[in-house]
């Protein structure tokens, strides 16, 4: 947080306003808006406002971390603040005012308490609805993975709740926007049938997924005098940050709520709006400023050098072609970037690793000040780049919110051991799965020993481990008796467990990890990332168990088996909240959207594969459409290829501007002419970057890229 003697003019102006002011702060990213709001929070607390009267509203839970840290630095307990998303608030109100909800909605049992569904439990129950319909021929005209079908049906429900559209209205919008083959119309109608069947299932069993929670809160509880009076009496001060990333229905609730606050501070990032695919409405976010008596503009990015500023200005001139261009220092532009063109991806990764090492060793750049960005981050990319940087003495870290929990080696390890502990499940363990489990737990990533043991130990008839002592002595010696001792400890532990009453799967994993795998001598003893994954896995299992027990009342064995079957079918495990803290001794490898929506800033950025079309392409979503279901899209208007290209260009411009705003010194464009499949990479992002290259080439009178 800025010190009082280094405040920006807009920050000083905010602090000079009366404490009871409604203030709207706007500006691009990194211009000091959130810092100003933190200072305002500190003012409130120091002037007697109780923490429990302050509401911190953000689109993502991580957005409240700066405010909690500010409260702690000011000597106040941050736990007293209510830091929450509107979805979290909706859930709380559904819990608190459940008797009112039951009177207004067609739930089957008036006394029964609701079960709140996570993403994964909603997908699980939706699959039970959709699978029989797929067998009857639903969605026969499209080819898409079943789990993606489930997620898109849920997405339509969520979009409807956030836009105020009913399911028939959603289907009608999608049909009128479609300009292709008429068989697609049946796909939209099938999706509506599935969504309505799922909603009826939720009413019958008192299940509340995200869409139903938001619909109940926005359309009923918020309108009910008792609930509204409770919220208005509970909170007297509001900070609402990154409002551009929330949908219109949330803006409308805040608009109606504002007059009851004694003071509020709203923060609008004009360069944001990256969550359009989740219903964000940055257009409507700007309208809220009319309700605030004070409007402050932040217009200068902090900590950004003149070179990056010149690149941004050059691109802005190209975008705003109808306006008179602002002067640009081309020499500064040229100093702000570098380009590497390699034929294949491995050559590009080698060059990135070399340049990262050079920046750290010759330019005094900290590893944590370097970000390597890609449209998506696969396991292969992370492994390849991590190996290259490790060989040069540096470590790489990543954060992938969309990564399924089942893809984590620690998850596969724990579920494999769970199968070994429960032979009555009759679930086979593959040699590959056992090899991963042994590498993760016993052999400290020694692939050779793990492979030998996986071929020798597993008894396919009993579905359990053989004794290490039954292995030939010469092979025991090759593997080592130290590893053998661990194998026997694991085998004995599993056998002892089988003599007891079976536990629920989450309790079993906690017992196995706590009593054995976390102990000294085992590979997981110092693997903190694995421990985090296992904690997330146990939370995921617990949520599944609670939701499952609400309907099926399965015993511990059946519940555990059902969960593992769900994971093996590929139904995503819900991503729990993870702190995306910048670590100064680790280089960051992040998907571009994760970087843009987080709090990380960098001195140096590497943009990987700007020729890759994935920087601009939307995911294939035959059942839904994020733009057509937006309130900003006119009803009955077709979505044409021209619209697709226009939105693609606007999205790319937003991404490029957002990335540059979070970079202070230099950007490296790392171009690979061919991808892994040998296809030439000429995506639209590269075309936009060509404007930079051409401008510099014209100034230098040299050929451009």
**Mean pLDDT, range 519-542, rounded to an integer:** 88
**pLDDT computed for residue 132 by the predictor:** 94
**pLDDT computed for residue 466 by the predictor:** 86
**pLDDT computed for residue 580 by the predictor:** 52
Is residue 575 predicted with pLDDT exceeding 60? no
Question: Quick one: how many helices (H) and strands (E) in the chain?
Answer: 28, 16
Q: What percent of the chain has pLDDT over 90?
A: 59
Residues paired with residue 605 on neighbouring β-strands, in sequence order: 371, 667
Residues 290, 26 contacting (CB under 8 angstroms): no
Is residue 597 predicted with pLDDT exceeding 60? yes
Kindly report, residue by residue over 112-125, the tens digit of the pLDDT.
788 999 888 999 99
The pLDDT mean for the chain works out to 89
**pLDDT computed for residue 574 by the predictor:** 47
Kindly report, residue by residue over 640-652, the tens digit of the pLDDT.
999 999 998 889 9
Kindly report, residue by residue over 256-287, the tens digit of the pLDDT.
999 999 999 999 999 998 888 888 999 899 89
161 band by pLDDT with thresholds 50, 70 and 90: very high
**pLDDT computed for residue 108 by the predictor:** 85
**Mean pLDDT, range 444-464, rounded to an integer:** 83
136 band by pLDDT with thresholds 50, 70 and 90: very high
**pLDDT computed for residue 32 by the predictor:** 93
Residue 604 CA to residue 27 CA, distance in Å, equals 23
**How much of the chain is in helix, strand and coil states, percent to nearest 5?**
55, 10, 30
> Residue holding tokens 């054995």?
516
**pLDDT computed for residue 623 by the predictor:** 94
Residue 324 CA to residue 691 CA, distance in Å, equals 17
514 band by pLDDT with thresholds 50, 70 and 90: very high
One-letter-per-residue 3-state SS of 296-315: EEECCCCCCCHHHHHHHHHH
* More confident call, 580 vs 547: 547
**pLDDT computed for residue 577 by the predictor:** 41
**Mean pLDDT, range 145-157, rounded to an integer:** 92
Rounded to two decimals, the pTM is: 0.88
Which segments of 372-408 does DSSP mark as H helices, in order?
A: 379-391
Is residue 653 predicted with pLDDT exceeding 60? yes
* More confident call, 13 vs 473: 13
Is residue 378 predicted with pLDDT exceeding 90? no
446 band by pLDDT with thresholds 50, 70 and 90: confident
**pLDDT computed for residue 1 by the predictor:** 57
DSSP string for 588-654: EEEEHHHHHHSS--EEEEEEE-TT-GGGTPPP--TT--TTTTSTTSPTT----HHHHHHHHHHHHHH
Kindly report, residue by residue over 308-359, the tens digit of the pLDDT.
999 999 888 888 777 777 888 888 999 999 999 988 889 999 999 999 999 9
Residues 225, 180 contacting (CB under 8 angstroms): no
Torsion sign across C-alpha atoms 182, 187, 193, 196:
negative
Kindly report, residue by residue over 385-395, the tens digit of the pLDDT.
999 999 999 99
SS3 label, residue 407 = helix
**Mean pLDDT, range 186-204, rounded to an integer:** 96
Q: By C-alpha distance, which of 608, 543, 530, 599 is closest to 572?
A: 543
Structure tokens at 392: 């040069």
């Amino acid at each position: 947080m800025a010190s009082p003697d280094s405040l920006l003019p807009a920050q000083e102006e905010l602090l000079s306003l009366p404490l009871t002011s409604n203030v709207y702060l706007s500006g691009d990213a990194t211009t000091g808006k959130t810092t100003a709001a933190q200072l305002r929070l500190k003012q409130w607390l120091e002037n007697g406002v109780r923490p429990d009267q302050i509401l911190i509203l953000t689109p993502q839970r991580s957005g409240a971390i700066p405010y909690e840290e500010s409260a702690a630095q000011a000597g106040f307990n941050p736990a007293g603040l209510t830091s929450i998303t509107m979805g979290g608030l909706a859930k709380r109100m559904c819990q608190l005012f459940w008797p009112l909800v039951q009177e207004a909605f067609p739930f089957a049992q008036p006394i029964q308490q609701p079960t709140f569904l996570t993403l994964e439990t909603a997908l699980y129950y939706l699959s039970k609805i959709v699978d029989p319909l797929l067998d009857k021929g639903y969605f026969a005209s499209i080819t898409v993975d079943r789990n993606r079908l489930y997620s898109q049906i849920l997405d339509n429900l969520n979009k409807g709740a956030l836009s105020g559209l009913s399911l028939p209205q959603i289907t009608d919008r999608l049909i009128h926007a479609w300009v292709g083959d008429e068989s697609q119309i049946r796909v939209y109608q099938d999706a509506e049938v599935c969504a309505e069947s799922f909603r009826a299932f939720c009413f019958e069993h008192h299940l509340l997924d995200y869409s139903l929670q938001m619909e109940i809160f926005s359309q009923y509880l918020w309108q009910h005098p008792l609930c509204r009076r409770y919220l208005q009496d509970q909170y007297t001060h509001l900070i609402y940050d990154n409002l551009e990333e929330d949908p219109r229905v949330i803006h409308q609730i805040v608009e109606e709520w504002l007059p009851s606050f004694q003071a509020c501070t709203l923060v609008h990032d004009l360069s944001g709006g990256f969550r359009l695919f989740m219903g964000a409405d940055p257009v409507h976010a700007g309208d809220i400023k009319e309700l605030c008596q004070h409007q402050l503009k932040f217009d200068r990015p902090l900590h950004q050098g003149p070179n990056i500023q010149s690149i941004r200005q050059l691109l802005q001139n190209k975008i705003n072609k109808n306006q008179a261009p602002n002067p640009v220092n081309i020499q500064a532009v040229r100093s702000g970037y570098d380009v590497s063109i390699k034929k294949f991806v491995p050559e590009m990764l080698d060059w990135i690793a070399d340049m990262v090492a050079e920046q750290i060793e010759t330019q005094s750049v900290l590893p944590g000040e370097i970000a390597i960005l890609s449209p998506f981050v696969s396991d292969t990319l992370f492994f390849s780049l991590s190996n290259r940087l490790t060989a040069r003495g540096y470590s790489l870290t990543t954060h992938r919110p969309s990564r399924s929990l089942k893809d984590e080696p620690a998850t596969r390890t724990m579920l494999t051991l769970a199968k070994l502990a429960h032979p009555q499940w009759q679930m086979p363990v593959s040699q590959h799965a056992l090899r991963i489990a042994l590498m993760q737990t016993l052999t400290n990533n020694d692939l050779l020993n793990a492979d030998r043991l996986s071929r020798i130990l597993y008894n396919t008839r009993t579905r359990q481990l053989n004794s290490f002592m039954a292995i030939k002595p010469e092979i025991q010696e090759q593997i080592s008796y130290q590893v053998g001792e661990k194998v026997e400890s694991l085998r004995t532990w599993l056998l002892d467990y089988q003599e007891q009453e079976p536990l629920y799967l989450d309790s079993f994993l906690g017992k196995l990890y706590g009593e054995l795998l976390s102990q000294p001598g085992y590979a997981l003893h110092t693997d903190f990332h694995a421990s985090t994954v296992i904690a997330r896995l146990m939370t995921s299992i617990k949520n599944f168990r609670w939701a499952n027990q609400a309907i099926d009342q399965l015993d511990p064995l059946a519940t555990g088996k059902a969960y593992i079957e769900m994971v093996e079918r590929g139904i995503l495990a819900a991503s729990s909240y993870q702190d995306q803290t910048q670590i100064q001794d680790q280089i960051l490898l992040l998907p571009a959207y994760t970087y843009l929506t987080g709090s990380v800033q960098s001195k140096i950025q590497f943009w990987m594969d700007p020729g890759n079309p994935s920087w601009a392409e939307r995911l294939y979503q035959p059942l839904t459409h994020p733009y057509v279901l937006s309130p900003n899209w006119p009803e009955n208007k077709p979505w044409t290829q021209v619209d697709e290209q226009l939105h693609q260009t606007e999205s790319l411009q937003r991404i490029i501007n957002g990335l540059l705003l979070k970079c202070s010194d230099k950007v490296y464009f790392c171009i690979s002419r061919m991808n892994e499949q040998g296809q030439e990479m000429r995506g639209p992002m590269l075309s936009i970057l060509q404007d930079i290259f051409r401008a510099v080439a014209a100034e230098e009178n040299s050929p451009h890229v």
